[in-house]
Amino acid sequence: MRSSISVLIVALALSAIVLPSLCAMAHAVSSYQVGVKTGEVAYYELTGSYGFFPSQPETQMTVQSVAGTNITAGFTSFFLMAS
């Protein structure tokens, strides 16, 4: 009984060492592309108590340049007057 338990423990230990080496290795992403282009625009609405006028404050973001994974953007705040 003891010898069969010892054999089982040795077999489990060996399989724990050997099985991971049989699996394919994972690879990291080799390249990354940004999802925006120069000149694209996005609008954001701001909410909260920031001292704005009681209209709807909005911010416009414009992508100014894209170099690899570096993105430069400009932000302009303006208000849409309620009609």
Considering the domain boundaries, does residue 57 fall inside one? Answer: yes
The burial of 71, by beta-carbon neighbours within 10 Å (0-12 exposed, 13-18 middle, 19 or more buried), is given as: middle
What pLDDT was estimated at residue 6? 83
Considering the domain boundaries, does residue 30 fall inside one? Answer: no
What pLDDT was estimated at residue 59? 81
* Number of domains comprising the chain: 1
- Entry pTM: 0.48
| pLDDT tens, N- to C-terminus, the chain (83 residues) | 667 888 888 888 888 787 777 776 666 667 777 888 999 998 877 666 655 555 556 788 899 999 988 999 998 876 655 55
Rg, the chain, Cα only: 29
Considering the domain boundaries, does residue 28 fall inside one? Answer: no
Range of 51's domain?
35-83
